[in-house]
Structure 1
Protein backbone atom coordinates (compact mmCIF):
# COMPACT_ATOMS: atom_id res chain seq x y z
CA UNK A 1 0.00 0.00 0.00
CA UNK A 2 3.02 2.12 0.34
CA UNK A 3 2.57 5.51 1.93
CA UNK A 4 3.32 6.16 5.56
CA UNK A 5 1.14 7.17 8.46
CA UNK A 6 2.87 9.39 10.97
CA UNK A 7 0.15 9.66 13.57
CA UNK A 8 -0.73 7.33 16.39
CA UNK A 9 -4.19 6.71 14.97
CA UNK A 10 -5.52 6.22 11.48
CA UNK A 11 -6.53 9.58 10.03
CA UNK A 12 -9.77 9.94 8.09
CA UNK A 13 -7.71 10.53 4.95
CA UNK A 14 -5.71 7.34 5.50
CA UNK A 15 -8.89 5.42 6.27
CA UNK A 16 -10.37 6.57 2.95
CA UNK A 17 -7.19 5.52 1.16
CA UNK A 18 -7.29 2.06 2.75
CA UNK A 19 -10.94 1.69 1.68
CA UNK A 20 -9.97 2.48 -1.91
CA UNK A 21 -7.01 0.08 -1.88
CA UNK A 22 -8.76 -2.88 -0.25
CA UNK A 23 -12.07 -4.70 -0.33
CA UNK A 24 -12.71 -3.71 3.29
CA UNK A 25 -15.16 -1.24 4.80
CA UNK A 26 -14.12 1.55 7.16
CA UNK A 27 -15.62 -0.38 10.07
CA UNK A 28 -13.66 -3.52 9.14
CA UNK A 29 -10.43 -1.56 8.81
CA UNK A 30 -10.91 0.04 12.22
CA UNK A 31 -11.72 -3.34 13.76
CA UNK A 32 -8.53 -4.82 12.27
CA UNK A 33 -6.56 -1.81 13.51
CA UNK A 34 -7.88 -2.30 17.06
CA UNK A 35 -6.88 -5.97 16.95
CA UNK A 36 -3.48 -5.14 15.49
CA UNK A 37 -2.85 -2.40 18.05
CA UNK A 38 -3.28 -4.93 20.90
CA UNK A 39 -0.02 -6.53 19.74
CA UNK A 40 2.05 -3.54 20.77
CA UNK A 41 0.52 -0.11 21.28
CA UNK A 42 3.89 1.37 22.27
CA UNK A 43 5.62 0.06 19.16
CA UNK A 44 2.87 1.41 16.91
CA UNK A 45 2.92 4.78 18.65
CA UNK A 46 6.62 5.02 17.87
CA UNK A 47 6.45 3.59 14.35
CA UNK A 48 3.17 2.95 12.55
CA UNK A 49 5.02 0.67 10.12
CA UNK A 50 6.30 -1.57 12.93
CA UNK A 51 6.44 -5.21 11.85
CA UNK A 52 5.31 -7.85 14.32
CA UNK A 53 6.40 -11.51 14.12
CA UNK A 54 3.84 -13.78 12.45
CA UNK A 55 3.49 -15.65 15.76
CA UNK A 56 1.90 -12.50 17.17
CA UNK A 57 -0.35 -11.99 14.16
CA UNK A 58 -1.86 -15.47 14.37
CA UNK A 59 -2.78 -14.80 18.00
CA UNK A 60 -5.30 -12.17 16.93
CA UNK A 61 -6.73 -14.32 14.11
CA UNK A 62 -7.82 -17.74 15.42
CA UNK A 63 -9.04 -18.76 11.94
CA UNK A 64 -5.46 -18.53 10.69
CA UNK A 65 -3.87 -19.92 13.83
CA UNK A 66 -5.61 -23.25 13.24
CA UNK A 67 -5.35 -23.25 9.45
CA UNK A 68 -3.23 -26.06 7.95
CA UNK A 69 -1.86 -23.53 5.44
CA UNK A 70 -0.90 -20.99 8.13
CA UNK A 71 2.80 -20.89 7.27
CA UNK A 72 2.12 -20.48 3.58
CA UNK A 73 -0.50 -17.78 4.17
CA UNK A 74 1.90 -15.85 6.36
CA UNK A 75 4.72 -16.23 3.82
CA UNK A 76 2.56 -14.92 0.99
CA UNK A 77 1.24 -11.88 2.84
CA UNK A 78 4.47 -10.78 4.53
CA UNK A 79 5.48 -7.98 2.14
CA UNK A 80 9.12 -8.11 3.23
CA UNK A 81 9.19 -11.94 3.25
CA UNK A 82 10.78 -11.63 6.69
CA UNK A 83 8.32 -13.54 8.89
CA UNK A 84 6.85 -10.25 10.14
CA UNK A 85 3.69 -8.29 9.37
CA UNK A 86 2.97 -4.57 9.24
CA UNK A 87 -0.54 -3.19 9.63
CA UNK A 88 -0.74 -2.86 5.84
CA UNK A 89 0.30 -6.51 5.39
CA UNK A 90 -2.50 -7.41 7.78
CA UNK A 91 -4.97 -5.33 5.76
CA UNK A 92 -3.85 -7.07 2.56
CA UNK A 93 -4.44 -10.46 4.19
CA UNK A 94 -7.87 -9.53 5.51
CA UNK A 95 -8.85 -7.87 2.23
CA UNK A 96 -7.85 -10.89 0.12
CA UNK A 97 -9.83 -13.23 2.37
CA UNK A 98 -12.85 -10.95 2.84
CA UNK A 99 -16.25 -11.81 1.44
CA UNK A 100 -16.13 -8.62 -0.66
CA UNK A 101 -12.98 -9.69 -2.50
CA UNK A 102 -13.80 -10.76 -6.08
CA UNK A 103 -13.46 -14.49 -6.66
CA UNK A 104 -10.75 -14.05 -9.29
CA UNK A 105 -8.60 -11.96 -6.94
CA UNK A 106 -9.11 -14.38 -4.07
CA UNK A 107 -8.26 -17.30 -6.36
CA UNK A 108 -5.02 -15.59 -7.42
CA UNK A 109 -4.01 -15.25 -3.77
CA UNK A 110 -4.99 -18.88 -3.15
CA UNK A 111 -2.74 -19.95 -6.00
CA UNK A 112 0.23 -18.27 -4.31
CA UNK A 113 -0.61 -19.98 -1.02
CA UNK A 114 -0.74 -23.43 -2.66
CA UNK A 115 2.45 -22.81 -4.66
CA UNK A 116 4.72 -24.09 -1.90
CA UNK A 117 7.93 -24.04 -3.93
CA UNK A 118 7.24 -20.56 -5.34
CA UNK A 119 7.82 -21.49 -8.99
CA UNK A 120 4.54 -19.93 -10.18
CA UNK A 121 3.15 -23.35 -11.11
CA UNK A 122 1.16 -25.88 -9.10
CA UNK A 123 3.09 -29.08 -9.59
CA UNK A 124 2.20 -32.57 -8.51
CA UNK A 125 4.31 -32.03 -5.36
CA UNK A 126 2.40 -28.82 -4.52
CA UNK A 127 -0.89 -30.66 -4.90
CA UNK A 128 0.27 -33.60 -2.78
CA UNK A 129 1.40 -31.16 -0.07
CA UNK A 130 -2.03 -29.47 -0.17
CA UNK A 131 -3.86 -32.79 0.11
CA UNK A 132 -1.71 -33.92 3.03
CA UNK A 133 -2.32 -30.61 4.83
CA UNK A 134 -6.05 -30.80 4.21
CA UNK A 135 -6.32 -34.33 5.57
CA UNK A 136 -4.23 -33.50 8.63
CA UNK A 137 -1.78 -35.43 10.73
CA UNK A 138 -2.29 -38.52 12.87
CA UNK A 139 -1.16 -38.92 16.47
CA UNK A 140 2.41 -39.61 15.24
CA UNK A 141 2.51 -36.29 13.32
CA UNK A 142 2.42 -38.14 10.00
CA UNK A 143 -0.08 -37.43 7.21
CA UNK A 144 -3.38 -39.25 7.74
CA UNK A 145 -3.49 -40.11 4.07
CA UNK A 146 -0.94 -42.54 2.66
CA UNK A 147 1.37 -41.34 -0.11
CA UNK A 148 -0.13 -43.46 -2.94
CA UNK A 149 -3.62 -42.12 -2.12
CA UNK A 150 -2.48 -38.49 -2.01
CA UNK A 151 -0.60 -38.97 -5.31
CA UNK A 152 -3.68 -40.52 -6.90
CA UNK A 153 -5.87 -37.59 -5.83
CA UNK A 154 -3.24 -35.06 -6.90
CA UNK A 155 -2.95 -36.72 -10.32
CA UNK A 156 -6.74 -36.53 -10.74
CA UNK A 157 -6.76 -32.83 -9.81
CA UNK A 158 -3.87 -32.15 -12.14
CA UNK A 159 -5.60 -33.96 -14.99
CA UNK A 160 -8.76 -31.87 -14.50
CA UNK A 161 -7.08 -28.49 -14.09
CA UNK A 162 -4.08 -28.69 -16.44
CA UNK A 163 -5.91 -27.40 -19.50
CA UNK A 164 -2.77 -26.84 -21.61
CA UNK A 165 -1.31 -30.26 -20.66
CA UNK A 166 2.05 -28.98 -19.35
CA UNK A 167 2.16 -31.26 -16.31
CA UNK A 168 1.42 -28.41 -13.90
CA UNK A 169 -1.28 -25.84 -13.27
CA UNK A 170 -0.56 -22.26 -14.32
CA UNK A 171 -2.01 -19.33 -12.36
CA UNK A 172 -4.52 -18.53 -15.12
CA UNK A 173 -5.79 -22.12 -15.22
CA UNK A 174 -6.17 -22.20 -11.45
CA UNK A 175 -7.98 -18.85 -11.28
CA UNK A 176 -10.23 -19.75 -14.21
CA UNK A 177 -11.42 -22.98 -12.62
CA UNK A 178 -11.35 -22.25 -8.90
CA UNK A 179 -13.03 -18.84 -9.04
CA UNK A 180 -16.10 -20.51 -10.52
CA UNK A 181 -16.43 -23.12 -7.78
CA UNK A 182 -19.13 -22.16 -5.26
CA UNK A 183 -17.34 -24.11 -2.51
CA UNK A 184 -14.23 -22.00 -2.97
CA UNK A 185 -16.13 -18.76 -2.45
CA UNK A 186 -17.65 -20.11 0.75
CA UNK A 187 -14.52 -21.65 2.26
CA UNK A 188 -11.58 -19.49 1.22
CA UNK A 189 -12.41 -16.49 3.38
CA UNK A 190 -12.42 -15.26 6.92
CA UNK A 191 -13.15 -12.12 8.86
CA UNK A 192 -11.46 -11.29 12.12
Structure 2
Protein backbone atom coordinates (compact mmCIF):
# COMPACT_ATOMS: atom_id res chain seq x y z
CA UNK A 1 0.00 0.00 0.00
CA UNK A 2 2.87 2.36 0.65
CA UNK A 3 3.94 2.25 -3.00
CA UNK A 4 0.56 3.04 -4.55
CA UNK A 5 0.02 6.58 -5.71
CA UNK A 6 -3.37 8.13 -5.20
CA UNK A 7 -4.41 10.39 -8.04
CA UNK A 8 -6.81 13.11 -6.97
CA UNK A 9 -8.87 14.51 -9.78
CA UNK A 10 -11.39 17.26 -9.26
CA UNK A 11 -12.78 20.50 -10.48
CA UNK A 12 -11.55 23.74 -8.97
CA UNK A 13 -13.78 26.17 -7.13
CA UNK A 14 -13.29 28.59 -10.02
CA UNK A 15 -14.46 25.98 -12.52
CA UNK A 16 -17.44 25.14 -10.32
CA UNK A 17 -18.46 28.80 -10.17
CA UNK A 18 -18.15 29.09 -13.95
CA UNK A 19 -20.17 25.92 -14.54
CA UNK A 20 -22.99 27.15 -12.29
CA UNK A 21 -23.11 30.41 -14.24
CA UNK A 22 -23.08 28.70 -17.65
CA UNK A 23 -25.54 25.90 -16.92
CA UNK A 24 -28.88 25.38 -15.23
CA UNK A 25 -27.27 23.01 -12.73
CA UNK A 26 -26.57 23.47 -9.03
CA UNK A 27 -23.12 23.01 -7.51
CA UNK A 28 -24.29 19.74 -5.95
CA UNK A 29 -25.54 18.47 -9.34
CA UNK A 30 -22.24 19.43 -11.00
CA UNK A 31 -20.26 17.62 -8.30
CA UNK A 32 -22.46 14.53 -8.71
CA UNK A 33 -22.04 14.52 -12.49
CA UNK A 34 -18.27 14.90 -12.12
CA UNK A 35 -18.19 12.03 -9.64
CA UNK A 36 -19.97 9.84 -12.22
CA UNK A 37 -17.74 11.10 -15.02
CA UNK A 38 -14.61 10.38 -12.98
CA UNK A 39 -15.55 6.68 -12.82
CA UNK A 40 -14.81 6.50 -16.55
CA UNK A 41 -11.11 7.18 -16.13
CA UNK A 42 -9.37 8.92 -13.26
CA UNK A 43 -5.99 8.48 -14.94
CA UNK A 44 -7.13 10.09 -18.19
CA UNK A 45 -8.77 12.98 -16.34
CA UNK A 46 -5.66 13.54 -14.19
CA UNK A 47 -3.74 14.18 -17.43
CA UNK A 48 -6.48 16.17 -19.16
CA UNK A 49 -9.64 17.37 -17.39
CA UNK A 50 -11.16 17.84 -20.87
CA UNK A 51 -10.50 14.24 -21.94
CA UNK A 52 -13.14 12.91 -24.34
CA UNK A 53 -14.57 9.47 -23.63
CA UNK A 54 -16.38 7.33 -26.23
CA UNK A 55 -20.16 7.63 -26.10
CA UNK A 56 -20.40 3.94 -25.14
CA UNK A 57 -18.61 4.86 -21.90
CA UNK A 58 -20.90 7.87 -21.39
CA UNK A 59 -23.92 5.55 -21.64
CA UNK A 60 -22.55 3.61 -18.64
CA UNK A 61 -22.98 6.64 -16.39
CA UNK A 62 -26.21 7.90 -17.99
CA UNK A 63 -28.55 4.91 -18.22
CA UNK A 64 -31.45 7.30 -18.90
CA UNK A 65 -29.86 8.03 -22.27
CA UNK A 66 -28.86 4.41 -22.93
CA UNK A 67 -32.54 3.40 -23.01
CA UNK A 68 -33.78 6.47 -24.88
CA UNK A 69 -35.02 5.80 -28.44
CA UNK A 70 -33.27 9.01 -29.52
CA UNK A 71 -29.92 8.16 -27.89
CA UNK A 72 -27.86 8.34 -31.11
CA UNK A 73 -29.28 11.75 -31.92
CA UNK A 74 -28.87 13.01 -28.34
CA UNK A 75 -25.24 11.90 -28.25
CA UNK A 76 -24.58 13.42 -31.68
CA UNK A 77 -26.07 16.76 -30.71
CA UNK A 78 -24.20 17.04 -27.40
CA UNK A 79 -20.82 15.84 -28.70
CA UNK A 80 -19.17 19.21 -29.27
CA UNK A 81 -16.55 17.73 -31.61
CA UNK A 82 -19.03 15.44 -33.44
CA UNK A 83 -16.51 12.63 -32.88
CA UNK A 84 -18.64 10.03 -31.03
CA UNK A 85 -16.91 11.10 -27.82
CA UNK A 86 -17.89 13.46 -25.03
CA UNK A 87 -16.00 15.60 -22.55
CA UNK A 88 -17.15 16.57 -19.08
CA UNK A 89 -18.33 19.89 -20.55
CA UNK A 90 -20.42 18.01 -23.13
CA UNK A 91 -22.02 15.89 -20.42
CA UNK A 92 -22.75 19.02 -18.39
CA UNK A 93 -24.43 20.62 -21.42
CA UNK A 94 -26.57 17.50 -21.88
CA UNK A 95 -27.56 17.34 -18.20
CA UNK A 96 -28.18 21.09 -18.08
CA UNK A 97 -30.46 21.01 -21.13
CA UNK A 98 -32.45 18.17 -19.58
CA UNK A 99 -32.57 19.60 -16.04
CA UNK A 100 -35.67 20.80 -14.25
CA UNK A 101 -34.24 24.34 -14.10
CA UNK A 102 -33.74 24.68 -17.85
CA UNK A 103 -36.33 27.00 -19.41
CA UNK A 104 -38.73 25.33 -21.85
CA UNK A 105 -37.60 27.42 -24.82
CA UNK A 106 -33.96 26.33 -24.27
CA UNK A 107 -35.00 22.68 -23.95
CA UNK A 108 -37.12 23.03 -27.07
CA UNK A 109 -34.16 24.43 -29.03
CA UNK A 110 -32.09 21.38 -28.03
CA UNK A 111 -35.02 19.10 -28.86
CA UNK A 112 -35.18 20.66 -32.32
CA UNK A 113 -31.58 19.63 -32.97
CA UNK A 114 -32.31 16.11 -31.74
CA UNK A 115 -35.33 15.75 -34.05
CA UNK A 116 -33.40 17.22 -37.01
CA UNK A 117 -31.92 13.81 -37.84
CA UNK A 118 -30.39 14.85 -41.15
CA UNK A 119 -28.90 18.07 -39.76
CA UNK A 120 -30.36 20.41 -42.39
CA UNK A 121 -31.76 22.86 -39.79
CA UNK A 122 -35.33 21.83 -40.62
CA UNK A 123 -37.55 19.11 -39.19
CA UNK A 124 -38.95 17.56 -42.36
CA UNK A 125 -41.52 14.87 -42.97
CA UNK A 126 -38.70 12.29 -43.11
CA UNK A 127 -37.36 13.49 -39.73
CA UNK A 128 -40.85 13.16 -38.25
CA UNK A 129 -41.34 9.68 -39.73
CA UNK A 130 -38.07 8.62 -38.13
CA UNK A 131 -39.20 10.09 -34.80
CA UNK A 132 -42.50 8.17 -34.96
CA UNK A 133 -40.67 4.95 -35.81
CA UNK A 134 -38.26 5.43 -32.90
CA UNK A 135 -41.09 6.20 -30.50
CA UNK A 136 -43.04 3.09 -31.44
CA UNK A 137 -39.95 0.93 -31.02
CA UNK A 138 -39.00 -2.46 -32.39
CA UNK A 139 -40.57 -5.89 -32.09
CA UNK A 140 -38.73 -8.99 -30.86
CA UNK A 141 -37.35 -9.54 -34.39
CA UNK A 142 -35.73 -6.09 -34.40
CA UNK A 143 -38.18 -4.68 -36.94
CA UNK A 144 -39.98 -1.37 -36.52
CA UNK A 145 -43.39 -1.94 -34.91
CA UNK A 146 -45.28 0.57 -37.02
CA UNK A 147 -45.74 0.22 -40.75
CA UNK A 148 -44.37 2.98 -42.99
CA UNK A 149 -47.80 4.20 -44.12
CA UNK A 150 -49.04 4.66 -40.54
CA UNK A 151 -45.82 6.38 -39.50
CA UNK A 152 -46.08 8.71 -42.49
CA UNK A 153 -49.73 9.51 -41.69
CA UNK A 154 -48.88 10.44 -38.09
CA UNK A 155 -45.85 12.46 -39.20
CA UNK A 156 -47.95 14.32 -41.78
CA UNK A 157 -50.52 15.28 -39.10
CA UNK A 158 -47.73 16.60 -36.85
CA UNK A 159 -46.20 18.52 -39.74
CA UNK A 160 -49.54 20.15 -40.62
CA UNK A 161 -49.99 21.21 -37.00
CA UNK A 162 -46.49 22.63 -36.52
CA UNK A 163 -45.63 24.04 -39.96
CA UNK A 164 -46.94 27.53 -39.22
CA UNK A 165 -45.48 29.16 -42.33
CA UNK A 166 -46.58 26.30 -44.63
CA UNK A 167 -43.13 25.57 -46.10
CA UNK A 168 -43.39 21.79 -45.87
CA UNK A 169 -40.97 21.55 -42.94
CA UNK A 170 -40.59 22.94 -39.44
CA UNK A 171 -37.93 25.57 -38.78
CA UNK A 172 -36.24 26.13 -35.43
CA UNK A 173 -38.48 29.04 -34.40
CA UNK A 174 -41.69 27.21 -35.33
CA UNK A 175 -40.54 24.13 -33.43
CA UNK A 176 -39.55 26.06 -30.30
CA UNK A 177 -42.73 28.16 -30.41
CA UNK A 178 -44.98 25.10 -30.63
CA UNK A 179 -43.14 22.61 -28.42
CA UNK A 180 -42.33 24.98 -25.55
CA UNK A 181 -46.06 25.61 -25.12
CA UNK A 182 -46.96 21.93 -24.78
CA UNK A 183 -47.67 21.21 -21.10
CA UNK A 184 -46.26 17.66 -21.23
CA UNK A 185 -43.00 18.73 -22.89
CA UNK A 186 -41.34 19.77 -19.62
CA UNK A 187 -41.92 16.32 -18.10
CA UNK A 188 -40.93 14.30 -21.14
CA UNK A 189 -37.76 16.14 -22.18
CA UNK A 190 -35.69 15.70 -19.03
CA UNK A 191 -33.35 13.28 -17.34
CA UNK A 192 -35.18 11.20 -14.81
CA UNK A 193 -33.22 10.16 -11.70
Matched residue count: 186
| 1:110-149 alignment runs, 5 A limit | 110-149=111-150
Listed one character per residue, the Cα deviations across residues 9-29 of structure 1 (whole Å, up to 9, x for unaligned) are 111111000000000000000
Structure 1 stretches of 4+ with a deviation exceeding 3 A read: none
| 1:71-82 alignment runs, 5 A limit | 71-82=72-83
Query: Would you say the 8 A contact 1:120–1:171 is kept in 2?
Result: yes
Q: CA separation in 2, counterparts of 1:156 and 1:77? A: 29
Q: CA separation in 1, counterparts of 2:192 and 2:37? A: 14
User: What's the C-alpha RMSD, in Å, of the aligned pairs?
Assistant: 1.0
Which residue pairs with 1:15 in the alignment?
16
Which residue pairs with 1:45 in the alignment?
46
| 1:165-184 alignment runs, 5 A limit | 165-184=166-185
Query: Would you say the 8 A contact 1:96–1:105 is kept in 2?
Result: yes
Secondary structure of 2:128 counterpart? helix
Listed one character per residue, the Cα deviations across residues 142-191 of structure 1 (whole Å, up to 9, x for unaligned) are 11011110000000000000000000000100000100111110110015
Q: 1:36 aligned to 2:31?
A: no
Which residue pairs with 2:26 in the alignment?
25
Which residue pairs with 1:3 in the alignment?
none
- In terms of Rg, which structure is larger? 2
Q: CA separation in 2, counterparts of 1:159 and 1:143? A: 24
Gaps of 5+ in 2: 1-7
The structural deviation recorded for 1:8 is: 3.1
Which residue pairs with 2:3 in the alignment?
none
Listed one character per residue, the Cα deviations across residues 106-134 of structure 1 (whole Å, up to 9, x for unaligned) are 00000000100000000000000000000
Q: CA separation in 2, counterparts of 1:36 and 1:112? A: 24
Which residue pairs with 1:188 in the alignment?
189
The structural deviation recorded for 1:88 is: 0.3
